[in-house]
Amino acid sequence: MGRIIVGFLLGYVAGHASSVIGYILMTTYGGLHDRDGGGAMGAIFILGPALGLVGGIAGAIIAARTRKA
């Protein structure tokens, strides 16, 4: 059970970080201009938790399936 929780937490952190890193890369190298900060808030407060949840579920599933007997 602890392995599944750790898998979920690691997946959540990786998913949330991917949205923030993606936003930073798009504004730095992609030519995206975010003058009012709405894109940053969307990446951090909307996309971050959503991708974190998806990553957390994927991490928990992977941890459950690779459990040693």
Q: What is the pLDDT of residue 69?
A: 58
Residue 1: pLDDT above 90? no
The tokens 């952190």 sit on which residue? Answer: 13
Q: 67 versus 31: which is more confidently predicted?
A: 31
d(Cα 58, Cα 41) in Å, to the nearest integer?
25
| Ordered DSSP codes for 3-40 | HHHHHHHHHHHHHHHHHHHHHHHHHHHS----SSSHHH
Evaluate whether 54 touches 17 at the Cβ level (below 8 Å).
Answer: no
Look at residue 67 and give its three-state secondary structure: coil
pLDDT tens sequence across 5-55: 999 999 999 999 999 999 999 999 988 888 888 989 998 999 999 999 999
